[in-house]
Amino acid sequence: MGRYSKDKRDIYYRKAKEVGYRARSAFKLLQINEEYHIFDQVSRAVDLCAAPGSWSQVLSRELYKPEKKDVKIVAVDLQEMAPIEGVIQIQGDITSKKTADEIINHFEGKKAQLVICDGAPDVTGLHDMDVYVQSQLLLSALSITAQVLCDGGTFIAKIFRGRDVTLLFAQLRVFFSEVACCKPKSSRNSSMEAFVVCRDFSIPEGFDVNQFALCLSGQYKNVPFPNKVNAEIVPFLACGDLCGYDSDKSYPLQLGEDEEEFVYHEPVQKPIHPAYSEYLNMKRKCVD
């Protein structure tokens, strides 16, 4: 495969490098905002599972304009992440109460108005398994969101659409009065990913957010969830310009006569201490 093959195959990957985003997923959040205006009136935001940081970059670019001085953005991930201007970084576990307390401390005792999460597991190809693991990750994100999100706040998260997705929507409706599902144009049609847009957050009466820990440990029967688990049919919306770029299509490097001459760009930020680095070192030693 040539140096430019990925630029040809993935127009959003190419455009992300051209405008300085660390990953193509930045366009997914931008297209969600085009439809739902999730950044309006937001000055405190949290990005969960933030690495490599493209969604944090979007928050930084969008929330700080025009000349907002009271904005605070916190990014959380287990992995080390290169710094982003205007973003406070926490290298921690989203299932930990300590991480939630640290987020609140950065907001000086206040809670976030927006929580976003683009986290996903390494897929196995076994769809039922991947959907289950992703739903558990979403539960972990919801656990910390319940501790750091203010009343009336908004929560955006990635989901994998499976046969039990209506149950997931019903669970989210326990905590949010408005739940919608959307798929940005920059998300490949071949991918089963979508995003939930949850608005108007509130803790149900009598529910203790600390009891989420029981859910994460598998002790569901000991959690007094509110009796509100009716199946939900939520709106599904395609986000982004439907006449825009197709994320599943290959494009020529020179898009048209009016386009500037193509210039190859290196990735904005390469991985820091990736898990596969040890394998690469071992492979190089074998070749040598």
State yes or no: is 158 an active-site residue.
Answer: yes
- Consult the annotation and say whether 93 binds a ligand: yes
Identify the DSSP state of 240: S
Contact 186, 175 (CB under 8 A): no
- Consult the annotation and say whether 55 binds a ligand: yes
One-character DSSP codes across 148-173? HEEEEEEEEEEEE--TTHHHHHHHHH
- Consult the annotation and say whether 77 binds a ligand: yes
Catalytic option among 17, 28, 158, 183: 158
CA dist 12 to 123, 184, 232, Å?
21, 12, 33
> Cβ contacts of residue 120 below 8 Å, gap of 6+?
49, 134, 137, 158, 160, 193
C-alpha 75 chain-centroid distance = 11
The H or E element spanning position 116 is: strand 112-117
CA angle 202, 206, 208 (to 5 degrees): 75
- Separation between Cα atoms, residue 208 and residue 130, nearest integer Å: 29
Token reading at 218: 């598998």
Specify binding-site residues.
53, 55, 77, 93, 118
**Active site (catalytic) residues:** 158
Binding-site positions for S-adenosyl-L-methionine read: 53, 55, 77, 93, 118
